[in-house]
Amino acid sequence: MDSRRVLRSIKVLAQRHLQDLSPTERARGRADRASLLSRFPGLADHAPRRAAVIEVLGADHADYTSRIGHPVHAASLELVAFLLHLIELRAPRRVVDLGSGFTSYALRRFAAEAARGAGPLHAALGGQVGGFAVTSVDDDPAWLGRTRGYLEEKGVSTDDLEVWGQGFDPAARAGSYDLVLHDMGTMETRERTLIEALALANAGGCVVLDDVHKPAFRDYARRTLASRRQPVLSARAWTRDRLTRYAWVALPDTP
């Protein structure tokens, strides 16, 4: 790496850590931890699940982030463990993964193990989850192709890989999913597609918004959710990673 890139990386990391010191966000993270636990009490048992998910997927994640997706783009193992735990707790039938990559692999591998009722991820997540369908979507067809190649290499399903706005029409899919991950495209794309992403969830569905460590996206998401009167809780206690990234969960209308 040349010295200019090194300096830029240091600057970006320093800025992230400064933003991470926001007392409001820290306080919100603590308060919302309690609220999220009262909504989903099973999250109290997250630590052993996270450890087990890291044990099972850690080597794949290290390989993925060294060969395929940069660690800044790929979902953290903390986010992946949280998503898989939500699946254990919510038993979704249909999951949509907006922003393809490592999440597509983790979700599809868990879905395959859940469908056959056996496997290390299935065991890591309590051993009771039944099969569920995963759709992975990207706004970048080339990136989706790269994801397809990775999924083939890993021997998991490559069904239902779709391009946002082409094969995947968000209006036609509104209300179709029990769990939505919104982690797609640039932060501008994230904002532009937020309302459609939220609308993909059905009445009992949750929407996980990654990368709310970014103040501009966080403020935009807060305003958007407030205008929809949709409750949202910070999952910072479960998802904060070493790059200071974390997620929020937009909650369903029904418990």
Ligand X SMILES: C[S@@+](CC[C@H](N)C(=O)[O-])C[C@H]1O[C@@H](n2cnc3c(N)ncnc32)[C@H](O)[C@@H]1O
Interface residues toward ligand X, by CB under 6 A: 69-70, 73-75, 99, 101-103, 138, 140, 143, 183-185
CB proximity list for 2: less than 8 A, separation 6 or greater: none
Least distance to ligand X, CB of residue 137, Å: 8
Q: Nearest approach, Cβ of 71 to ligand X (angstroms)?
A: 9
Q: Judged by CB, which is closer to ligand X: 33, or 146?
A: 146
> Which of 132/217 has CB closer to ligand X?
217
Nearer Cβ to ligand X (94/182): 182
Pick the closer one to ligand X by CB: 142 or 203.
142
Query: CB 6 → ligand X: shortest distance, Å?
Result: 19
Minimum CB distance to ligand X, residue 95 (Å): 12
Closest CA to 197 of 164, 241, 167: 164
Give Cα separations from 16 to 30, 65, 66, 93, 235 (angstroms): 19, 20, 22, 36, 18
- Closest contact distance (angstroms) between CB of 148 and ligand X is 13
**Residue 66 is inside which H or E element, if any?**
helix 46-67
Residue nearest to ligand X (CB): 101
Give 140 or 196: the residue with its C-beta nearer to ligand X.
140
Chain centroid, CA 188 distance in Å: 17
User: Helices marked H in 73-119 — which ranges?
Assistant: 77-90, 102-116
